[in-house]
Structure 1
């Protein structure tokens, strides 16, 4: 059995799913976590997502090629599972170097190429503040 690398919490009251990434997380682990999220009883395609990147995940598996594979998975996943009017994803990462990976992901999937608004934050509080803002 593979070691668990992600906790998924869905909060219908906040219209938010939180993926807490820890341990030896890899791209296949993230793909598995998103598969579990779409099967979660409380998940709704109108919810936002917050991804918490902890100290555990290393950077060695997050190559450009691996991120392109994740992107290829996420495009159809988003089309099916992120159908709200203004879907948003907030990455939270205190580590400067790991945050660069999240920033790269956001750049690879900017508004010209991706239907999801993606932002990267240092703290959970900053991310929560953005996610609770009303559409402009």
Structure 2
């Protein structure tokens, strides 16, 4: 059986995915910086997890086959956070990452978000992870 995890379950996109999977009867691990804020959904196991590289994050990701990674909100630490988290994803042995990217992500874009997403996509590829990018 495939083990799923979702980041950002206390937010809009992650919360939507978590709710839809729960309603479809799909069990998933919900990852949240503040587990007490995570919605109480059927089939969900909630683990504390942030976009950092730590033993706690690696433990939260261990045993996951497919990870749905909601991109971090725009902030000066975004790329560092993404890289640290992706490093933890790799060490934890996650098999496939589904990343919420951006339409026409490009390192040469004049739009900051498009550049950030392009860099994150490239980093996921460099780590050798199987991936799906949503734009």
- TM-score category, normalised to shorter length: 0.3 to 0.5
Task: Provide the TM-score with structure 2 as the length reference.
Answer: 0.45
Task: Provide the TM-score with structure 1 as the length reference.
Answer: 0.45
